[in-house]
Amino acid sequence: MINVIGLGYIGLPTALMMASHGVEVVGTDYNKELVATLNAGKTTFKEKGLDELFAEALKSGIKFTTEYQVTDTYIVSVPTPYDKFSKKVDACYVVAAVKSVMEVCPKGATVVVESTVSPGTIDKYVRPVIEENGFKIGEDINLVHAPERIIPGNMVYELLHNNRTIGADSKEIGEKIKNLYASFCQGEIVVTDIRTAEMTKVVENTFRAVNIAFANELAKICRHDNMDVYEIIKICNMHPRVNILQPGPGVGGHCISVDPWFLVGDYPSLAKVIDESMKTNDGMPDFVLNRIYEIMKEKGLTDLSRVGFYGLTYKENVDDMRESPTLQMLESMERHLSGNLVKVYDPFIEKDEVPNQMHSLDEFLDAVDLVVLLVGHNEIRENMDKLKGKVVLDTRHICDLDGVYRL
């Protein structure tokens, strides 16, 4: 039996995928309401293919509880936030989960940490917890790091098809856990040491963050001299060895916006390019706000309550708001204006999460004169004609109406 610890955006799909492929799984989470929802036969967030996967896992006998199980394999998939001042990983949730595992696990058990951590975190924080509980690593307890590599909006597909990395102290244990993931993973699974596994996951997201920062910096340069950054990127990407990503209103989610800071926090004197790249990305929400004020001045608009932000999530067609650029913009407005007057709408966010949030596209558009497209949900892509007559700032390069403003 596998005990998956943490049933959030990563742990739940992992547990469901294993269960639907013949592995006996019990999912554990401290959140009683979340566990109750799962036991009532309902998923806890929206994700393409998740409900179908959930139904298959239920047929296969998956169970959900708040209790840690006595078994031989644990997968820890809890959040790893970072301290916004020191930029270092906060491993408190991982440490707490491993401590709880130590209270029930038998000798010979394997603890797999799926949570993304900075290089050296397992050596610094996880190993001591195991040893403090009287276990000898490699004899009494086996330790593995198997970082997740999936993205909201395409989790089910990527769980099946993405390559994976297994970091272990011994080749034998690494191969054992590789076989576990191979029960469903059709991608290549590489076995290496733990610190390399830690580093590779963080580096993957850092590479993307730096590329996005380059695109965002290009957008600022092109705005300064009134050039079309999208046309420039399109032409440059015709070169066979160039692949510039698209600029945007900022970077959100719990990977690209967070993981690179782990390297900055651990290597402040070395990670200079990464540091500046992250500052560039973090500065984009304020850049967009300045564009809004410029456009309002140009168009003679003075009422912020007639400005509408389309999109609350950090990317299209998901309900994940973590670190979203829209939230960052609203927080900035709150600090500088002592209140948020703008209207906000997102078809994937059904509950009120921010002031002046609306829940109908038509009502939202009727209430605003300036629409800021912050997320490229399918809904707005399919209803571009409804934006006619509005002033539009398109931060995602999805609108081809005449007169549209861009970054």
Full DSSP string of 375-400: S--HHHHTTGGGGTTSEEEESSS---
| Residue at 39 is within a domain | yes
Domain stops at, among 282, 314, 330? 282
| Residue at 215 is within a domain | yes
| Residue at 354 is within a domain | yes
Active site residue 59: no
Q: Alpha-carbon distance 13 to 150, whole Å?
A: 10
Is the domain of 360 the same as that of 377? yes
Domain stops at, among 247, 282, 317? 282
Is the domain of 265 the same as that of 293? no
Is the domain of 126 the same as that of 212? no
Is the domain of 364 the same as that of 379? yes
Is the domain of 260 the same as that of 379? no
Q: Alpha-carbon distance 356 to 367, whole Å?
A: 11
Domain stops at, among 132, 160, 192? 192
Is the domain of 266 the same as that of 276? yes
Is the domain of 185 the same as that of 325? no
Number of domains in the chain: 3
Query: Structure tokens of 6?
Result: 């943490």
Which residues sit opposite 76 in a β-bridge? Answer: 5, 113
Q: Alpha-carbon distance 1 to 73, whole Å?
A: 7
Residues spanned by the domain of 30:
2-192
The active-site residue, picked from 105, 185, 222, 255, is 255
Is the domain of 172 the same as that of 73? yes
DSSP letters along 157-186, please? Answer: HHHHHS-EEEEESSHHHHHHHHHHHTTT--
| Residue at 259 is within a domain | yes
The active-site residue, picked from 178, 201, 315, 343, is 201
| Residue at 197 is within a domain | no
Is the domain of 87 the same as that of 113? yes
pLDDT of residue 334: 85
CA distances from 22 to 16, 37, 155, 164, 183 (A): 10, 23, 19, 20, 8
Q: Which residues contact 131 (CB under 8 A, 6 or more apart)?
A: 137
Amino acid at 197: A
Active site residue 201: yes
Mean pLDDT per segment of 10 residues, for the chain of length 407 residues? 95 96 97 97 91 96 97 95 77 95 96 93 95 94 94 89 95 96 96 96 94 98 96 97 96 88 92 97 96 96 95 94 94 78 95 95 97 98 96 97 95
DSSP letters along 279-307, please? Answer: HHHHTHHHHHHHHHHHHHHHHT---GGGE
| Residue at 387 is within a domain | yes
Instruction: State whether residue 270 is helix, strand or coil.
Output: coil
- Location of structure tokens 């000898």: 136
Is the domain of 237 the same as that of 364? no
Is the domain of 251 the same as that of 144? no
| Residue at 373 is within a domain | yes
Instruction: State whether residue 78 is helix, strand or coil.
Output: coil
Say which CATH number the domain at 210 has: 1.10.1040.10
| Residue at 328 is within a domain | yes
Query: Structure tokens of 333?
Result: 């407005």
pLDDT of residue 339: 64
Say which CATH number the domain at 108 has: 3.40.50.720
Which residues sit opposite 2 in a β-bridge? Answer: 25, 73
Instruction: State whether residue 7 is helix, strand or coil.
Output: coil
Is the domain of 112 the same as that of 252? no
